[in-house]
Amino acid sequence: MGDLFAADQPPRQEPGRPLADRLRPARLADVVGQEHLTGEAGALTRLIRSGSLGSMIFWGPPGTGKTTVARLLAGETDLVFEQISAIFSGVADLKKVFEAARLRRANGRQTLLFVDEIHRFNRAQQDSFLPVMEDGTIVLVGATTENPSFELNAALLSRARVLVFHSLDADGLALLLARAEEAEGRPLPLDEEAKGVLIRMADGDGRAVLTLSEEIWRAAGSGEVFDGRALQEIVQRRAPIYDKSQDGHYNLISALHKSVRGSDPDAALYYLARMFDAGEDPLYLGRRMVRMASEDIGMADPQALLIANAAKDAYDYLGSPEGELALAQACVYLATAPKSNALYTAFKAASAAAKEHGSLMPPKHILNAPTKLMKAEEYAAGYLYDHDQEDAFSGQDYFPEKMGRRTFYDPPERGFEREIRKRLEFWAKLRRERGGEP
């Protein structure tokens, strides 16, 4: 793992300047946690050696070094570094930046334009980058915490290489803490357990671990050393990296759903707790579990739908935190229930058949005949009332005549569907005996 700072140039203490800013790496090789990009064989290192940079999109969580790496890239390639933020910039700002880059280019200098939060630009604003990227006016380096596939124009993505930044692991965060202690000239007032808690709190964010360290130093009295419990009281809690409308949301709900489907109640509870902790709307989770009950359990355990719906209603009635336990109960029930997607598969097949065959008329014998004209047209003629038949089963065909009988639902030998399968096989036997099926 690369060192964060040059060993012969320890960071200076500068009052008022945040620790995270003081500890910015001075060279690409010093960047922590992104060796796949900045290491000896890293993608960016190879680009620098080639002597030519193309436009790039840096995708990764906060605090992983995207801004720092962009700045260092400009220095390594002798490009003029220009930085804007999509949060604070509009079309007029972009025009000024592009014009300044054109003037530099005319004077023999190229511009590396770093655009922070580039996903916040709308589609038209993103399109404005295309001409200046194509003619070489700028080398664009955009940074985003969101999935570029969803948030950026296809035209922009086709002209830029996406490089993925990783969350810092425990070793990387520990290295940052060591460098922080070196910069401050004093140890962090935490015992070993508390240091581990701090690293977990940082959630892979290098900037966060340094910011929290500053809070700890400010809070500590002379000779005071904090344990894990005291640490949590001092810094309270740091919300996990999670955007309810973006990747964090989709990744965790996917993990929850697949854990339920995979009959792993422990993993399902873990992801449910993660989403609670991140501030997800519990009613959204309740609604998703109602869906899981139908999609992944279905008729294998018909009680699953009732329990999931009851848990959703219980949360709606109780609120947090009391109602969260009802959702946890439903989560465990769904994860431990017998699984079947036979209902899901059958409904998809029936929907496809409905689209394929259009507005076919049901057979006349199952239509009502409230008028003389309808009776004359033989509506309801020949209908057999099932309750009056032996075994309460007539065996008549209810499909449109031009379509013929179809089988969509094929229950497996699992859970309650084992019993359903016996019933269907019994009725199929009666239908064959009574001539309702070949």
Helix (H) or strand (E) holding 21: helix 19-22
Q: What is the arithmetic mean of pLDDT over 240-254?
A: 69
Domain membership of residue 23 (yes or no) is no
Q: How high is the pLDDT of residue 7?
A: 39
Residue 200 located in a structural domain: no
The continuous run of DSSP H or E covering 70 comes out as helix 66-77
pLDDT (tens digit per residue) in 92-122: 889 999 999 999 999 989 999 999 999 999 9
**Same domain (yes/no): 159, 49:** yes
Contact in structure between 55 and 110 (CB atoms under 8 Å): no
> Do 289 and 379 fall within a single domain?
no
Residue 312 lies in a domain: yes
Distance in angstroms between the alpha carbons of the first and the last residue of the chain: 72
One domain, residues 326 and 368: no
Domain-embedded: residue 370:
yes
Mean pLDDT of the chain: 88
Please check whether residue 185 lies inside any domain of the structure: no
- Two tokens, residue 380: 């309801």
Domain edge (last residue) among 164, 186, 210: 164
Using pLDDT thresholds of 50, 70 and 90, give the confidence band for residue 4. Answer: very low
Q: What is the mean pLDDT of residues 223-237?
A: 82
Q: Going by C-beta distance under 8 Å and a sequence separation of 6 or more, which residues neighbour residue 241?
A: 61, 62, 145, 203, 204, 205, 248
Q: Note whether 378 and 293 are same-domain residues.
A: no
Q: Round to whole Å and give the CA distance between 70 and 65.
A: 9
- Judge whether 147 lies within some domain: yes
Q: Are residues 158 and 40 in the same domain?
A: yes
What pLDDT digit, counting tens, does each position of 421-436 carry?
A: 999 999 999 988 887 5
Rg over CA atoms, the chain: 32
CATH number at residue 154: 3.40.50.300
Instruction: Report DSSP letters for 239-268, one per residue.
Output: PPS--TTSHHHHHHHHHHHHHHHTT-HHHH
Q: Does residue 49 contact residue 80 with C-beta atoms inside 8 Å? A: no
Q: For tokens 């360290």, name the residue.
A: 213
> Same domain for 303 and 416?
no
Both structure tokens of 317: 């009635």
Q: Tell me: do 384 and 326 sit in the same domain.
A: no
Angle (CA) 386 389 390, round 5°: 130
- What is the model's pLDDT at position 16? 67
Q: Counting beta carbons within 10 angstroms of the beta carbon of residue 382, is it exposed (0 to 12), middle (13 to 18) or buried (19 or more)?
A: exposed
pTM over 0.95: no
273 and 387 both lie in a single domain: no
Same domain, yes or no: 80 and 133: yes
Among residues 336, 368, 392, the one where a domain terminates is 336
Domain boundary among 164, 194, 228: 164
- The verdict on 54 and 86 lying in the same domain is yes
pLDDT at res. 9: 44
* pLDDT tens profile 119-167: 999 988 999 999 999 988 999 999 998 889 888 999 999 999 999 999 9
The yes-or-no verdict on residue 8 having pLDDT over 50 is no
Report the CATH number that the domain containing residue 290 is assigned in CATH: 1.20.272.10
Q: Clarify whether residues 332 and 418 are in a common domain.
A: no
Q: pLDDT, tens digit, for every residue of 182-224?
A: 988 999 999 998 898 898 888 889 999 999 999 899 888 888 9
| pLDDT for position 370 | 86
CA–CA distance from 93 to each of 10, 160, 202, 271, 437 (Å)? 37, 22, 34, 42, 74
Mark whether 52 and 140 lie in a shared domain. Answer: yes
| Lowest pLDDT segment from 154-158, 279-283, 327-331 | 279-283
Quick one: pLDDT band at residue 242, thresholds 50, 70, 90?
low
Domain that holds residue 258: 247-336
Whole-number percent of the chain with pLDDT over 90: 53
> What is the rounded average pLDDT of the residues 334-354?
93
Domain count, the chain: 3
Residue 141 domain flag: yes
Average pLDDT over residues 35-51: 89
350 in a domain, yes or no? no
